[in-house]
Amino acid sequence: MLKHGVNSLCRCCPAVTYCTFEYDPVVWLLSCLEVTASSRHYVDRLFDLDPQKVLQGVMLLYLLQQETSSTELRTECAVVLGSLAMGTENNVKSLLDCHIIPALLQGLLSPDLKFIEACLRCLRTIFISPVTPEDLLYTDATVISHLMALLSRSRYTQEYICQIFSHCCKLQHWHSCGFKSLPQPLLCANGPDHQTILFNHGAVQNIAHLLVSTSYKVRMQALKCFSVLAFENPQVSMTLVNVSVDGELLPQIFVKMLQRDKPIEMQLTSAKCLTSMCRAGAIRTDDSCIVLKTLPCLVRMCSKERLLEERVEGAETLAYLIETDVELQRIASITDHLIVMLADYFKYPSSVSAITDIKRLDHDLKHAHELRQAAFKLYASLGANDEDIRKKIIETENMMDRIVNGLSESSIKVRLAAVRCLHSLSRSVQQLRTSFQDHAVWKPLMKVLQNAPNEMLVVASSTLCNLLLEFSPSKEPILESGAIELLCSLTQSENLALRVNGIWALMNMAFQAEQKIKSDILRGLSTEQLFQLLSDSDVNVLMKTLGLLRNLLSTRPHIDHIMSTHGKQIMQAVTLILEGEHNIEVKEQTLCILANIADGTTAKELIMTNDDILQKIKYYMSHSNAKLQLAAMFCISNLIWNEEEGSQERQDKLRDMGIVDILHKLSQSSDPNLCDKAKTALQQYLA
């Protein structure tokens, strides 16, 4: 009876009951109860309607916790509770409200194996329910170590404990698909913690040997456990590489599980393990187990023969695997016509299913969003670096239409993935000019940017950066639809990535733009905000802001115009940066701005009258870094250029400062650029 109850995972078939303790009426009653509880109908309605039955649950719990009651009775209680937990989510909620978890955990301390197994089974059922908070497992530090110790007891304890672990260290939903490019604040605070707790309790060593267990269920649950533990966790991944079981290293065992005759679930899960290990740097991307095993396996998971769930998971994992490696992207792009295969992901629900089979339609509908977003993600990864692959993707049937449609879908997941895909494809100059323009992708993109959550804004604004490049034909319409305002507001965001993207897009926008746009940008941004950005803690923001300034300050009339209105503040900012502790690139960029200012007609005076700045320029002319020297030289040669009005005075002033001596020195420099520049500058003096 007991054994049957514990092992039976099938809630539909009532346990066969024969009573070993005929004279114990409680056990007998429980047996009856179990029979009824096992029937689904009863289980589902147990807590819903009848308060009396809630009482039964409480009673069971009470009996369970009674040290005095016999082990058999307590085991029966655990079995029945397990059956109850298999009912609706409401059942689980009610049980949680009765504090079932501490009670069951307490039960694990019992010496009786059967009772422990029953408790574990019940715990497992409760923890795999989506309504159970994972943290409940971690409330007591001793629980984990006790579970680890129980792992050696029997194959049932192994199976259940592994299953509990793999469900209790789930990352948040965004991350199950694994895009590291997401900004920091989104990281789930608990995920890594859970992994670390389990890792510190020796999970890797304790579970590794279960991978070669004779029981398929144990092998599978252990594998799942590892796939969760290793996900985005370099510490676990690095450890896994070196663990060996029966003289075989874990990666080898995983590769064996990838064999094509293994169950699909096993292939997919072990591919996920290897993917995590690869992304964590524990396995090289050119290792044959990745290139020749994991990648082809994941491509196979995307094929039409697989279940829809498997195809989603396969595509997402593959997208994660190849995200940053162009060689893997190239291999994936030629494997089994993957790019064409993915086009099929958009064909659900198919027109056939709608007519013929309601059940199938329901199933298709349920997965349609997931399929689409997975395909978009994989396309995004495939096209991240290689222009030829991007071309192939865009040439896939109706690709641009699909992206455009995806951008306006109701599901935020699909929208996000579509934007990602668009972003990846927008790196192609050719596509920006052709298909992007043909399909007016900027329209839905601008729409997506309205009131979108941050993670969407990040990707969408990155895409916008590319669409605003000067050669992109979308630039004009985007400007007209009020992009400046939007981007300026992004620069004020708390989110770093958004600030970078906002200012970056503005920078691109200002490149070789007309006067009006430039003033619009300056007005939209406001000087205060500009200075705010110049003092941003992030180097990227600073760099892009300087880049924006530099782009604003190009062509003489623009320079003079802007400097006449904002000259004072800009000079101040420049001084500040040159004095501050910044890296070479930042200073170079700043000197370039100065050089641009020096190119203006009236703006020149702002420098010439500022001795502090002139001293700084002089200083950088003799700096140890050739780049900075060169940038400073640009300033000087712009200031002393002969043909311009007042050049004589400027030349004189600079000579007095000792610039000419430095120029002479530099003309002897070993750096040809520097040398040339210095010579040309000196010629200005001779003329």
Partner 1 sequence: MREAAARERDGLRFPSGGAAPLWPRSRPIGWRREPGLAPRPVTQSGSKMAEAGAGSLHGGDAAAAPGPAEEQELSRRLRRLYPAVNQDETPLPRSWSPKDKYNYIGLSQGNLRVHYKGHGKNHKDAASVRATHPIPAACGIYYFEVKIVSKGRDGYMGIGLSAQGVNMNRLPGWDKHSYGYHGDDGHSFCSSGTGQPYGPTFTTGDVIGCCVNLINNTCFYTKNGHSLGIAFTDLPSNLYPTVGLQTPGEIVDANFGQQPFVFDIEDYMREWRAKIQSTIKRFPIGDRLGEWQAMLQNMVSSYLVHHGYCSTATAFARVTDTTIQEEQTSIKNRQRIQKLVLAGRVGEAIEATQQLYPGLLEHNPNLLFMLKCRQFVEMVNGTDSEVRCFSARSPRSQDSYPGSPSLSPRHGSNNSHVHSTGADSPTCSNGVMSTKSKQSHSKYPTLSSSSSSSSSSSPSSVNYSESNSTDSTKSQQHSSTSNQETSDSEMEMEAEHYPNGVLENSSTRIMNGTYKHEEILQTDESSMEDSCSQRQLCGGNHAATERMIQFGRELQMLSEQLCREYGKNTVHKKMLQDAFSLLAYSDPWNCPVGQQLDPIQREPVCAALNSAILESQNLPKQPPLMLALGQRAERASCPYLNESYLFLLWGFPSRQVTLLLDSLPMPLREKVQKRNPLENSKFATAFICAGISSQQSNFKATAVSHQTSVFHLFWKIVFILQSVKILLPHLHSEKG
Would you tell me which residues interact with partner 1 (CB under 8 A)? Answer: 259-261, 291-293, 296, 331, 334-337, 341
Residue 263 Cβ vs partner 1, minimum distance, rounded to whole Å: 9
Tell which residue, 604, 556, 602, 594, has the closest CA to residue 573: 594
- Do residues 34 and 79 lie in contact, with contact meaning Cβ atoms separated by under 8 Å? yes
Residue 353 Cβ vs partner 1, minimum distance, rounded to whole Å: 18
Whole-angstrom distance, CA of residue 127 vs CA of residue 104: 12
Whole-angstrom distance, CA of residue 192 vs CA of residue 138: 13
- CB nearer partner 1, residue 396 or residue 532: 396
Residue 332 Cβ vs partner 1, minimum distance, rounded to whole Å: 9
Q: Could you give the 3-state DSSP secondary structure of residue 431?
A: helix
Q: What angle do CA 320, 325, 330 make, to 5 degrees?
A: 100
Residue 294 Cβ vs partner 1, minimum distance, rounded to whole Å: 12
- CB nearer partner 1, residue 229 or residue 339: 339
Both tokens of 524, joined, read 């939209």
Whole-angstrom distance, CA of residue 634 vs CA of residue 637: 5
Residue 380 Cβ vs partner 1, minimum distance, rounded to whole Å: 21
Both tokens of 469, joined, read 């490049």
Three-state secondary structure of 331-365: HHHHHHHHHHHHHHHHCCCCHHHHHHCHHHHHHHH
Residue 300 Cβ vs partner 1, minimum distance, rounded to whole Å: 9
Tell which residue, 182, 258, 263, 270, has the closest CA to residue 230: 270
- CB nearer partner 1, residue 228 or residue 271: 271
- CB nearer partner 1, residue 7 or residue 259: 259
Residue 329 Cβ vs partner 1, minimum distance, rounded to whole Å: 13
- CB nearer partner 1, residue 97 or residue 388: 388
- CB nearer partner 1, residue 291 or residue 469: 291
Backbone CA torsion sign across 123, 128, 131, 133: positive
- Do residues 363 and 357 lie in contact, with contact meaning Cβ atoms separated by under 8 Å? no
Whole-angstrom distance, CA of residue 633 vs CA of residue 625: 12
Query: Which amino acid type is present at position 552?
Result: L
- CB nearer partner 1, residue 238 or residue 291: 291
Whole-angstrom distance, CA of residue 267 vs CA of residue 100: 36
Residue 386 Cβ vs partner 1, minimum distance, rounded to whole Å: 12
Residue 481 Cβ vs partner 1, minimum distance, rounded to whole Å: 38
- CB nearer partner 1, residue 336 or residue 470: 336
Q: Please state at what angle helix 527-534 crosses helix 539-552, rounded to 10 degrees.
A: 130
Both tokens of 220, joined, read 């599978």
- CB nearer partner 1, residue 317 or residue 651: 317
Q: How many CA atoms lie within 13 A of 222 on its CB side?
A: 28
- CB nearer partner 1, residue 315 or residue 507: 315
Cis before 296? omega within 30: no
Query: Which amino acid type is present at position 221?
Result: Q
Residue 567 Cβ vs partner 1, minimum distance, rounded to whole Å: 57
Three-state secondary structure of 38-74: HCHHHHHHCCCCCHHHHHHHHHHHHHHHCCCCCHHHH
What is the C-alpha R_g of the chain? 33
Whole-angstrom distance, CA of residue 433 vs CA of residue 467: 9
- CB nearer partner 1, residue 388 or residue 661: 388
Residue 271 Cβ vs partner 1, minimum distance, rounded to whole Å: 14
- CB nearer partner 1, residue 14 or residue 296: 296
Residue 111 Cβ vs partner 1, minimum distance, rounded to whole Å: 41
**Read out DSSP for 103-131?**
HHHHHTTSS-HHHHHHHHHHHHHHHTSTT
Whole-angstrom distance, CA of residue 597 vs CA of residue 609: 13
- CB nearer partner 1, residue 175 or residue 360: 360
Residue 313 Cβ vs partner 1, minimum distance, rounded to whole Å: 19
Tell which residue, 425, 422, 393, 388, has the closest CA to residue 407: 422
Residue 288 Cβ vs partner 1, minimum distance, rounded to whole Å: 8
Q: How many CA atoms lie within 13 A of 345 on its CB side?
A: 34
- CB nearer partner 1, residue 246 or residue 261: 261
Residue 257 Cβ vs partner 1, minimum distance, rounded to whole Å: 12
Strand partners, 244: 249
Let me know if 500 is exposed, middle or buried by CB neighbors in 10 A (0-12, 13-18, 19+): buried
- CB nearer partner 1, residue 141 or residue 292: 292
